[in-house]
Amino acid sequence: SEARGCDLARWSDEDIRFGAVSTGSTTTVTTTGAAITREVSFGAIAKREIAAGTTLITLSSSLTIPPTLSTTLYHQHPLLTALSSLPLPPRTRQLAFLIHTRFTSSHTLSQVLTSPSSSLSPMSKTTLSILHHYIRSLPCTFSDPTHYHPSSRALALLTGTNLGSALNTYLHHDAAHLARLHNQLTSFLQQYQRDTVCDDDESTTATAATAAAAVTQLLAVLNEHTWRWARSAFKSRCFPAHLVTNHQKQQQPNNNDDDDDDDDGAVLLPVIDLLNHRRGARVSWEYDYGAGEVRFKVDECVKSGHEVFNNYGAKSNEQLLLCYGFVPAANPNDNVAVRLPRHAVQSCTRELEKQGLMKRA
C-alpha cells in the first residue's frame, strides 16, 4: 500500500485552521478554502475541484521537526536542553524527541507547560502543544523491512538482493545508535547526581532537575521497539531541510563517523507529510523568508473526490521499500546496482570505448 496514515482527527480546530486563511500569531497551518478533507485516515481527498497553481498548504517553519529550527524552543525545552549538551548526532536527538513526546504520558506535557520552573515562552508552549498532537497522530506501525519478522516470507524474498544484504548492517548500526543514546542519557543522570551535591544555586538546581526528569522519562520508554518506531516515522515522512532554509540544496560536509542518516539534512513538515506519493504528480514548493512559512502548491488540477498527491521523487524500488514500506506495481525509475570484479569492469570499459559508447574523462 502507498498509504501512510496520519489521524488528523486528533488535531483540534485551535491547532489547525481548515477552511480559511487566518491572520495573527495564532495561525499555524492553513489549507486553502477547505480544499481538502481531514475525515480520511490516510492521504488527503479534494472536497472540491482544486485549480492548478493553488497553494494548498501553508506551514509555519516554527512547526517543523527538528525543533532546532526554532531556536527559542530548542533552548527552553528541558529534554532538548539536556540532549544539546550531549555528544550525539543531530538525528539521534530528533528521534529521542519523537520518542519522548509519543510514548510518555500526556500528563508529562502538562507538567512541562505548567511547571513554575519552566522557561517556555507562550509562543513556545503553543508550538510544543501542536507538535505534541502531531507526533501522537503518527501511525503506530510501519511496513518497511526493518519491521519484518525474521521468519516472514517478505524478508525471505529479499534474500540475495542488495537491500537484503545491507539490512543486517543497517540494523546493526541502528542498535549501535540506540546503545549510544542510552549510555549518554545514563551518564547525564549520573553527572546530574554528582552536580546536585555541590550546587547551591536554587535556580540552576531547578532547571537541572527539570532536565533530569525529562531524561528519566525518556529512559523509561527507550527501547528497541520505540527506537525503530521513531526511526521509521522520521525516515518515511522527512523532507529535505533546504525546503525551509534555502531554495538551493547545499551539500554539508560530513565530518563524523556516523552514517549519513544522522546528519541534520531532513525535517518533518506536519500535515504536508500526510500526502501520499504518485509518480509524475506535479507539485512545487516555496519558502517565504519574511513570513517564515513553507508552502506546498499543486501544479495540476485535482478533481473533487480525488486524492491530492505529493511526488517523492525518482526513487528506485529499494529506496521506496526501505524508506516508505511500499513498492509500486510499475516503476520506470527502478534500478539495480551490480557488483563486478575489477577485471570485469576494465574489460567492459574497453569494449564500450571501442564501440564509441564511452569516453575517458
Using the predicted structure, report yes or no on whether residue 157 has a pLDDT greater than 60. Answer: yes
The C-alpha atoms of residue 223 and residue 207 are separated, in whole angstroms, by 26
- pTM above the 0.95 mark? no
**Cβ count within 10 A of residue 225:** 11
The C-alpha atoms of residue 228 and residue 216 are separated, in whole angstroms, by 20
Q: Quick one: pLDDT at residue 95?
A: 94
Q: Quick one: pLDDT at residue 345?
A: 83
* Per-residue pLDDT tens over the stretch 203-240: 556 778 888 989 999 999 999 999 999 999 999 988 88
The winner for highest mean pLDDT among 1-10, 24-33, 254-263, 321-330 is 321-330
* Per-residue pLDDT tens over the stretch 286-335: 888 877 788 888 999 988 878 888 999 889 988 888 888 888 888 898 88
What percent of the chain is predicted at pLDDT more than 70?
73
Is the Cβ–Cβ distance between 34 and 19 less than 8 Å? yes
What percent of the chain is predicted at pLDDT more than 90?
17
Q: Quick one: pLDDT at residue 56?
A: 83
Q: Quick one: pLDDT at residue 302?
A: 87
Instruction: Report the amino acid identity of residue 291.
Output: A
Q: Superfamily assignment of 1-64+269-361 in CATH?
A: SET domain (2.170.270.10)
Output the nine-digit C-alpha cell for 88. Answer: 550525539
Residue spans of the domains in the chain: they are 1-64+269-361, 71-237
The C-alpha atoms of residue 63 and residue 233 are separated, in whole angstroms, by 16
Instruction: Output the CA–CA distances (angstroms, integers) from residue 129 to 11, 18, 133, 176, 209, in the order listed.
Output: 10, 18, 7, 31, 22
- Strand 36-37 to 45-46 pairing: antiparallel
CA-atom Rg of the chain in angstroms: 23
The C-alpha atoms of residue 49 and residue 253 are separated, in whole angstroms, by 44
Nearest Cα neighbor of 96 from 116, 114, 78 is 78
Using the predicted structure, report yes or no on whether residue 66 has a pLDDT greater than 80. Answer: no
The C-alpha atoms of residue 62 and residue 321 are separated, in whole angstroms, by 30
The C-alpha atoms of residue 343 and residue 249 are separated, in whole angstroms, by 37
Using the predicted structure, report yes or no on whether residue 262 has a pLDDT greater than 80. Answer: no
Mean pLDDT of 52-60: 85
Q: Quick one: pLDDT band at residue 246, thresholds 50, 70, 90? A: low
Mean pLDDT of 178-199: 88
Better pLDDT: 129 or 116: 129
Better pLDDT: 257 or 119: 119
Mean pLDDT of 188-216: 78
Q: Quick one: pLDDT band at residue 116, thresholds 50, 70, 90? A: low
